Structure 1
């Protein structure tokens, strides 16, 4: 398959269900959604958290989205640009998007190419610390050819040019609203960040950070019959089990997200007949990040920064390898995920073209092998307390994650397994709204990483991993100079890796892109700065009264919420 075939295959017409087409705007009344991790902002450029990206997707949109099959569909654009239709240049250095007719912001003003240009300037501002900067990697300029035409120029051939302004993590924001919010001022624009003006099916009427968002139908939405719900309450907080009960048992809510609870308990709830559990597999991986910098509080402002120096022992891949070998991933799936999980040894588990098999030894737990590895490397317990030492320092780690029953069960199991190889773990859990929040002043965010090990899930929108793998560039390491934004959470940095990212950005052949992605995956995994655990399917639940849900793990889970409706 050549690059032109790849580009052509990305284009697909978005078909609306005939059942949904019979309803009218607002005719389904009120919709109650619960995301037990509460959003802290509605600006996805200021947080990499799924809860922020997905809640914002009710308001903010992009030129194209990925549906429940991973197929790219035009959204704000009239069509998907390809080489064949002239939207992508023959040399793959330029893509031109045409805005569809009749699209306005919710305030009634027209969406124009200038808004896309501004969005690029906003996210790439050198003082801004944009959480989604990798989506604009390789973009040399964004030009408004006219009010309806946006030309993106790349600094080298871009075989997969569908990153900037594609998917829920790279939406277009209104230039007029955010004009005074560039650079270091971005986090200060509370009104804009909490109540963005959008082109999407809903508008924000009230936002209480880390609590609840109220939406109402956008009366200027381009489809006159949609959205079918007049109002939406988007509740945050609590835990996954309570969220599941609120849909499957009490009926208080219509849709519950990320039901990471005991699969047996979830099945018992579903058996009551009030709701349906739905699962979608994409690229989500529950993983451990091993801090490659020193989180010692004594370092003050240099804590967990490159300038503060390397971690005292986690930069040795032998230790990370032993920690990985000690883990029984199959048991973690059985205990916490059921049909919603599969053991994995890769941070890039799908699509198949990009999935490496080079690390599959991790699928079998090997406590004895892990102990032998550490013995051979000279990490021994010299004082008989059961904990090995490295240069006189105990192999003791602070292991943190968000507050969630499944994650705490995982922590307990992993702590036990690590104790069997002489590594001690102190467990810490942080409220998810804080952990995944983007507050640069908070010491408890996953970006700050004031711990030795932390665990969470991440994935990427769409089906091409170029932008995702670029997350581990050296330049993506969070720090004070970027308002603690950045996607290279474990502070991994290798020039050879950056070179592979650059090579993939100029490689058109699909098979060669697959090879490069697998090589990047293997480089990260074999550095043991990340230890993958579970290839997670998204598990949610909806009331049986809801129709039109097409759950996607390739984009926002709520990508087609304009088509959701109450059954007659």
Structure 2
């Protein structure tokens, strides 16, 4: 067994759900030779894939993005050192002007969807249309959602269930080039993270075919372009309705158009709650071709069961939520290489503002001050240090409580934010202080708090076990709402508190806005503060690092004052793989973690 250590680099934490800079990939340009015949690996993960559209509020999860990372190409990606690398085999982008900020993205001629349809500017236009918010005729607050899935119900208005801080600044409909491969965006204001704004998440032709009943793919593309350019609300409503939910599925659809690829792998099998199988895309002509013919991802929430599967040879690679039991288990397996360190992922507690529960002002006759005091009492009593001491320190001796919503410990500005936002001073685990806050607020106890977390996730089950008696002493009765489908339940109003993790997907300073901004893609708690919204808008157009930090400090103070939740700890990381079955694994701190640079993977020769 070979054990390697790695540490997380300085990153600005962003959106995502649910490993740290290590040696860079052996060959970031990939291989054009194609995969070795009859080669296969099986990778373990903790949550099943459930949506091909990772840009909706429902589909925006790591479980989906890691699969899409292997299936679809893009203009850029992050390497293991968290440096943004352009993939010019997919396409290129050019800064045309800084005032106004004008950028042209061009897709290469040989880039296509796996049904043979060209991937072009129509696909990029759909990204702008679905994420910019400019075509919506219905606000997020007016949308009726399915009570079981929280997905918007189809309606007559136009509502794309997504948001983007950058594309919201492009109010002018983008211009498509004559050859149909380029799109030019003119930003209303400067935007620091413009390089991350454009890609092809789902195919435009399929979306229009399904929504508008058009058979010919090129005709469907043109219909979508016309609908956007002409602001044809009748057509856009149908397009948005399908875009919001049409790509959600939990097993292989009968219609192959719903799982097209533009990258290295094709989806060929998908058995609900068991596994998904990807096979090399023979028609892919980019730099990141599959090096292994077949990759199967198997799901199990129990990391010890996955460790057993690794020892049995049922898995070749996995990266579980780390516990001392898991680490000891994988270290004891012969022939397994282990990497440990710190991930770009953090555990946090969210409190819900809009479900009629104990943290909602509506429960106190609309008295926002009382609701805030109840939230404050809950967070004041929450035993953050005890959680870290018992769950993280055994794996990472220097582990500490995280005290920032926006910035990772060790990143530039973290010390300034953590020292000024008030979280470390307020969220201390002080039960007596919490009791006094509730008494002063005149609120009767005990207060029932429906608390959701992932069923079968050992660390979160232990977290709940630690928190429940402490919160009970403070006056809160934590009701166990563990759920195997917790990911799809996020934001549905059936719980009052939840703990899960956000995973970094980029180093962009603007990427926290969808989590804390009003109506944001990842705003799952109904939080809204006009001052916070304005500061995020200001942050998005600020390029000076010192001024960015000043704005972030102001945002953090408001988030803590509003008692929206709290942060707990940075994830300790464990990745383990069978060195006789797979080589050149290079886990990264940002999503997609262990799947990073999959094109460099190799099955050792016998």
Q: Counterpart of 1:353?
A: 412
Tell whether 2:353 aligns with 1:274.
Answer: no
Q: Report how far residue 460 of structure 1 moved.
A: 3.1
Going from structure 1 to structure 2, the CA distance change for 1:366 and 1:136 (only over 3 Å counts) comes to same
Tell whether 2:314 aligns with 1:252.
Answer: yes
- Give the alignment of 1:337-486 within 5 angstroms: 338=396, 342-350=400-408, 352-355=411-414, 356-358=417-419, 359=421, 362=424, 366-367=428-429, 369-375=430-436, 377-379=437-439, 390-392=442-444, 394-403=446-455, 404-431=457-484, 434-437=485-488, 445-476=489-520, 486=521
Tell whether 2:71 aligns with 1:71.
Answer: no
Q: Could you list the per-position Cα deviations for residues 430-483 of structure 1 after superposition, in whole angstroms to 9, with x for gaps in the alignment? A: 10xx2113xxxxxxx01214111101001331112212234211122xxxxxxx
Tell whether 2:103 aligns with 1:52.
Answer: no
Tell whether 2:98 aligns with 1:90.
Answer: yes
What secondary structure, in the 3-state scheme, does the structure 2 residue paired with 1:199 have? coil
| Segment drifting more, 489-498 vs 101-110 | 101-110
Q: Counterpart of 2:12?
A: none
Going from structure 1 to structure 2, the CA distance change for 1:120 and 1:500 (only over 3 Å counts) comes to same
Q: Could you list the per-position Cα deviations for residues 29-67 of structure 1 after superposition, in whole angstroms to 9, with x for gaps in the alignment? A: 112122121112222124122101112221123211111
| Segment drifting more, 105-114 vs 456-465 | 105-114
Aligned residues of 2:89 and 2:286 also touching (Cα < 8 A): no
Going from structure 1 to structure 2, the CA distance change for 1:251 and 1:409 (only over 3 Å counts) comes to same
> Which of residues 4, 27, 33 is equivalent to 2:43?
33
Q: Counterpart of 2:73?
A: 61
Aligned residues of 2:288 and 2:599 also touching (Cα < 8 A): no
Aligned residues of 1:285 and 1:347 also touching (Cα < 8 A): no
Distance in 1 separating the partners of 2:302 and 2:109: 42
Going from structure 1 to structure 2, the CA distance change for 1:537 and 1:474 (only over 3 Å counts) comes to same
Aligned residues of 1:400 and 1:451 also touching (Cα < 8 A): yes
Q: Report how far residue 207 of structure 1 moved.
A: 2.3
Tell whether 2:225 aligns with 1:213.
Answer: no
Unaligned runs of 5+ in 1: 1-13, 298-302, 381-388, 438-444, 477-485
Aligned residues of 1:547 and 1:567 also touching (Cα < 8 A): yes
Distance in 2 separating the partners of 1:542 and 1:304: 49
Normalised to the residue count of structure 2, the TM-score between the two structures is: 0.75
Tell whether 2:203 aligns with 1:174.
Answer: yes
| Segment drifting more, 211-220 vs 108-117 | 108-117
Q: Counterpart of 2:192?
A: 159
Q: Report how far residue 337 of structure 1 moved.
A: 5.2
Distance in 2 separating the partners of 1:527 and 1:538: 31
Q: Report how far residue 392 of structure 1 moved.
A: 3.3
> Which of residues 285, 290, 308 is equivalent to 2:346?
285
Distance in 2 separating the partners of 1:90 and 1:206: 46
What secondary structure, in the 3-state scheme, does the structure 1 residue paired with 2:585 have? coil
What secondary structure, in the 3-state scheme, does the structure 1 residue paired with 2:174 have? strand
Q: Report how far residue 420 of structure 1 moved.
A: 3.1
Distance in 1 separating the partners of 2:175 and 2:25: 30
Going from structure 1 to structure 2, the CA distance change for 1:239 and 1:329 (only over 3 Å counts) comes to closer
Aligned residues of 2:25 and 2:80 also touching (Cα < 8 A): no
Tell whether 2:175 aligns with 1:143.
Answer: yes
RMSD: 3.4
Q: Counterpart of 1:518?
A: 553
Distance in 2 separating the partners of 1:198 and 1:304: 46
Distance in 1 separating the partners of 2:464 and 2:256: 34
Distance in 1 separating the partners of 2:472 and 2:432: 11
Q: Report how far residue 101 of structure 1 moved.
A: 5.3
- Give the alignment of 1:90-239 within 5 angstroms: 90-91=98-99, 93-100=101-108, 102-123=110-131, 124=133, 126=136, 127-131=158-162, 133-134=164-165, 136-140=167-171, 141-145=173-177, 146-165=179-198, 171-179=200-208, 180-181=210-211, 182-186=239-243, 187-189=245-247, 191=253, 195-223=258-286, 226-239=289-302
Aligned residues of 1:347 and 1:532 also touching (Cα < 8 A): yes
- Give the alignment of 1:327-338 within 5 angstroms: 327-334=385-392, 338=396
Going from structure 1 to structure 2, the CA distance change for 1:136 and 1:193 (only over 3 Å counts) comes to farther
Q: Report how far residue 291 of structure 1 moved.
A: 1.1
What secondary structure, in the 3-state scheme, does the structure 2 residue paired with 1:56 have? helix
Aligned residues of 1:211 and 1:236 also touching (Cα < 8 A): yes
Going from structure 1 to structure 2, the CA distance change for 1:193 and 1:394 (only over 3 Å counts) comes to farther
Aligned residues of 1:106 and 1:219 also touching (Cα < 8 A): no
Normalised to the residue count of structure 1, the TM-score between the two structures is: 0.80
Unaligned runs of 5+ in 2: 1-23, 137-157, 212-238
